[in-house]
Copies of this chain bind each other. A is one copy, B any other.
Amino acid sequence: MTFRISYKRMRPATHEDSEDSDLLYSKNSSVDESTDIQDDIRPKHTPFAMSEQHSTCATTFKRAKNTRDVDCEPNPLYETFSANASQPLISQLADSRRERVMWIRRLLSAGRDGTVLLRVRQRCSTVWRETHRCSAVVYREHSHDIDTLRMEMLPLPPVKDGSVRIRMLAAPVNPADLNMIQGSYPILCPVPAVGGNEGVGEVLEVGSDVTSLRPGDWVVPVDAGFGTWRTGAVCEEDELMSVPKDISLLGAATVFVNPCTAYRMLSDFQTLAPGCTVIQNASNSAVGQAVVQIAAALGLKTINIIRDRPNCAELVDELQSLGADYVVTEEEVMSSGLHRVFEEVPKPKLGLNCVGGLSGGLVLSNLDYGGTMVTYGGMAKRPLQIPAKSLIFRDVTLKGFWLTQWKRHRKEDKAQLKAMLDAVCDLMRAGQLSTPHCVQTPFQQYTHALRATVQSHRRKHVLIM
């Protein structure tokens, strides 16, 4: 049941419901005023995929102005009255059957009248806003200054046949999110854009063609650039994947970047049987901790290099409690080597490097013959120094890993994505992979979380919507 509005039948609004409603858009669609309507409803900016939707809307009004007697394409604003969209709205508005009938009448009347006049009570206004708009942390230019980000109200497009409306529940602040805002990440969203690439949402509404998701499901965005620092979103079904609801909210919010990165790196570069060894630096990072735990679950031994620090013993205990077999500081490796370790475990076939510079060299130089070092970060901001001998005579391979690209290459084959997500969630459910220690920050206080992440990557901050 979709109300396609013909401008031929338009008339000024009747205002009959003015006594119990707020005026949200009180413009009618008379020709003289349509230009004003266009200006009024056009978002000042069009971050994250809104531009196309709004452009349709604006075009429709323009067309209405010039060709008032011609049927026009469905307008996103009118489409909010479609069966799909209005049913949940009505359900939320109405407390009883009587009230529901009243609301349906009102909406039908608005549709038949061909106006965008919605005189509704305060409740209606709130629900409408939740359905049609969302709050989002938007950046309008690439900058290192956190203050350039603003919380803005963005319009949401209507749910179409293949699309899904979600409300975001939680979204972490990852270092890559900041790099993207700063413009130093290899993929950038056209500005203005909504920040955030990872997070978990709940499905509120699905289009008629959607098969893999249902209202109530928890979902995570498949690709980077989703803009997860927002309260709600409408997107295509294939932009999302469901995650089980029997893992923690924070676990679900942070499952698809760091733990999956660790899982892939342990799976894809060397055939590692139980008893094999993996060496890594940045062992206390979110990925490092996931590596420790997933490796332990797979029966692998881990040698974990950390930087020396005041609370070193504490950190060693923490990593060992997660399943780390050996935790050594960079200084220890440089001064004494790992001879004692290699009396107990074989030399590692796999090395994971998130630091670069000197620390990357420590991983490389302790690899076994024929080993592979996978670089997934460059925290030291210094290049790796690779002696030719390591490559030639020790047959070491250097690779990089970037989960975003890995996922993009498998966009058409979601089975692999699902298998990975299932495997990681299984580990979480089995208690073999814990949720990283997160600082939960109310969404409105996003600047706190961003500022803290800029200052240090040690604590993961998660925005709670």
Contact = CB atoms under 8 A, between A and B. Distances in A.
A186 B393 contact: yes
Size bracket of the A interface: 20 to 34
Contact of A395 (B353, B377, B388, B402): B402
A212 interface: no
A388 B356 contact: yes
Given A186-B393, A393-B186, A397-B397, A388 B402 contact: no
A395 B405 contact: yes
Contacts of A401: 392
Given A395-B400, A399-B397, A386 B389 contact: no
Nearest to A187: B393
A378 interface: yes
Contact of A388 (B378, B385, B397): B378
Interface string A4-42: 000000000000000000000000000000000000000
Contact of A391 (B385, B388, B392, B400): B400
Contact of A386 (B186, B386, B393, B394): B386
Contact of A400 (B356, B377, B392, B402): B392
Contact of A396 (B377, B385, B400): B400
A256 interface: no
Contacts of A392: 375-378, 400-402
B393 A383 contact: no
B378 A387 contact: yes
Q: What is the total number of copies of this protein in its complex?
A: 2
Contact of A384 (B378, B388, B393, B394): B388
Nearest to A185: B393
A388 B398 contact: no
Given A384-B385, A386-B386, A391 B399 contact: yes
A434 interface: no
B389 A186 contact: yes
Interface string A400-434: 11100100000000000000000000000000000
A191 B213 CA distance: 72
A182 interface: no
A453 interface: no
A402 to B, nearest CB: 5
A393 B127 CA distance: 43
Contacts of A383: 385-388
Nearest to A401: B392
A329 interface: no
A375 to B, nearest CB: 4
Given A378-B387, A383-B387, 20 more contacts: A186-B389, A186-B393, A375-B392, A376-B392, A377-B388, A383-B385, A383-B388, A384-B386, A384-B387, A385-B385, A386-B386, A388-B400, A391-B398, A391-B400, A392-B400, A393-B405, A394-B400, A396-B400, A397-B398, A398-B398
Interface of A: 186, 353, 356, 375-378, 383-402, 405
